[in-house]
Amino acid sequence: MQKNDQIHTVKLDKDKCMGCVSCMKRCPTEAIRVRNGKARIHYERCISCGECVRVCPHQAKKVIYDDFSIIEDPRFKYKIALPAPSLYGQFENLDNLNYLIEGLLKIGFDDVYEVARGAELVSEATRTLFDSGKLKKPVISTACPAVVQLILLRFHDLKDNLLPVQAPVDISAKLAREEAAKKTGLKPEEIGIFFISPCPAKIHALHSGLGVSKPTVDGVLSASDIYFRLLPAMKQVEEPRDLSQIGIFGLSWAASGGEAATLLKNKYLAADGMENVLNILKELENGKLNDLEFIELNACIGGCVGGVLNIENPFVARAKLQTRRKYLPVTKNSISQTDKNLDYFVWECEPDVTNVMQLDEDINVAMALLERINKIEKILPMLDCGCCGAPSCRAFAEDVALGEAKITDCHRINVEDLL
């Protein structure tokens, strides 16, 4: 796959959109406007968190992922599925994780590399980095790409607190490809690596390459899509072989607080759900929470089990994972089993902040614009009703000042008062 940060992982189905403003009001980066009765996404602000997909009452927001048929591409001579830890929480009575692995092999994959394995390695690498004393505290988890994008967009000052390790899926993909090439004698590019994603954020991160110099996977599939193929296949499995290679640590990454728990630190915080995440980031920005060592933030309620492409209710999924854990050892993967050193796990390249908040590069131009925005805001009713097609009066003032909306789009002010 080519590195592509222009990819749009959430799209609008215009025919279904009723212009109801539900998505616009919920978007954490104010990336949505409703114009001419239809929602419009400003992609330069979109962090692919999937909030709009979740709240749209008309199913007008679609997540864009690869069609399952991608695995049939003749380029790929050997196909490996990479299930996210949250996938294990989607099924009833899955006391034995091997059913899931066998199921994946039945629906067309030649091999499975569990992302929870990569997660266990990433946990170990993180603990080592902590011990080196070089991390800026509080360290902020980079496991949820929606949170990382949010920080790069709105909280530039916190960028240096981001944990500079690659995502478990990238580590898993790299190791899986290497292992398979060795095992089969095929060229690395003949091996197809497919992640089964719980969310659009991870789809976007895998296309754009977050912390890696080039994308590590060949396709990203949806958990919901796979679920319906997997369920009948799993039912056919009689005696599953002992294939799963993960422990409690890897599995716990599926839910909020799971990553933090694997770091064996006492001073940590785990917050989930966009509103809570935003509150924590604001507190950090105000110089608070400085006594903490680690901060785990997940855009979805409950963590990745709450990903918008999952099937099961996040709390039920979490409960299922808890029962599954008790049959597992603490961890099954360690860096010493690989031939890799710490460098293999840290970011290959740093992600850049995005300057979309900035009105203009020239501070004087920015000042003049800001002055106009503030002036316009003063005459608005500050109801944040959304009737104008902007998520808040403040955002509307910005749109008017930038010429993207007319003051008369606000139906709550008396136009004559303006004259």
Binding site for another protein (CB under 8 A): 154, 156-157, 159, 282, 285-287, 355, 357-361, 363-364, 366-371, 373-374, 394
Q: Which of 23, 104, 175, 304 binds ligand SF4 (CB under 6 A)?
A: 304
d(C-alpha 215, C-alpha 365), whole Å:
38
Here's the x/- map for ligand SF4, 196-215, by CB under 6 A: it reads as --xx-xx-------------
Minimum CB–partner distance for residue 357 and another protein (Å):
4
Check: CB of residue 262 under 8 Å from CB of residue 251. Answer: no
By the rule CB under 6 A, 116 interacts with ligand SF4: no
By the rule CB under 6 A, 125 interacts with ligand SF4: no
Q: Which of the choices ligand SF4, another protein, none does residue 56 contact, using the CB cut-off of 5 to 8 A by kind?
A: none
Q: Which of the choices another protein, ligand SF4, none does residue 360 contact, using the CB cut-off of 5 to 8 A by kind?
A: another protein
d(C-alpha 169, C-alpha 38), whole Å:
35
Task: Give all strands (DSSP E) within 209-265, no chain letters.
Answer: 219-222
Tell me whether residue 29 or residue 392 sits nearer to ligand SF4 (CB atom): 29
Minimum CB–partner distance for residue 144 and ligand SF4 (Å):
3
Minimum CB–partner distance for residue 220 and another protein (Å):
32
Q: Which of the choices ligand SF4, another protein, none does residue 285 contact, using the CB cut-off of 5 to 8 A by kind?
A: another protein
Distance of CA 297 to the CA centre of its chain: 11
From the list 261, 214, 243, 232, the residue with the least C-alpha distance to 81 is 243
From the list 402, 116, 122, the residue with the least C-alpha distance to 244 is 116
By the rule CB under 6 A, 321 interacts with ligand SF4: no
Minimum CB–partner distance for residue 273 and ligand SF4 (Å):
9
Cβ-Cβ contacts under 8 Å for 371 (sequence gap 6 or more): none
Sign of the Cα torsion 250, 251, 256, 258 reads negative
Tell me whether residue 287 or residue 329 sits nearer to another protein (CB atom): 287
By the rule CB under 6 A, 230 interacts with ligand SF4: no
SS3 string of 132-196?
HCCCCCCEECCCCHHHHHHHHHHCHHHHHHECCECCHHHHHHHHHHHHHHHHHCCCHHHEEEEEE
Check: CB of residue 293 under 8 Å from CB of residue 127. Answer: no
From the list 211, 152, 207, the residue with the least C-alpha distance to 349 is 211
Tell me whether residue 155 or residue 253 sits nearer to another protein (CB atom): 155
287 three-class SS: coil
Phi, psi (deg, nearest 5) at residue 153? -90, -45
Tell me whether residue 99 or residue 155 sits nearer to another protein (CB atom): 155
By the rule CB under 6 A, 250 interacts with ligand SF4: no
By the rule CB under 6 A, 144 interacts with ligand SF4: yes
Q: Which of 307, 351, 386, 389 binds ligand SF4 (CB under 6 A)?
A: 307
In the complex, the residues that contact ligand SF4 under the rule CB under 6 A are 49, 144-146, 198-199, 201-202, 298-300, 303-304, 307
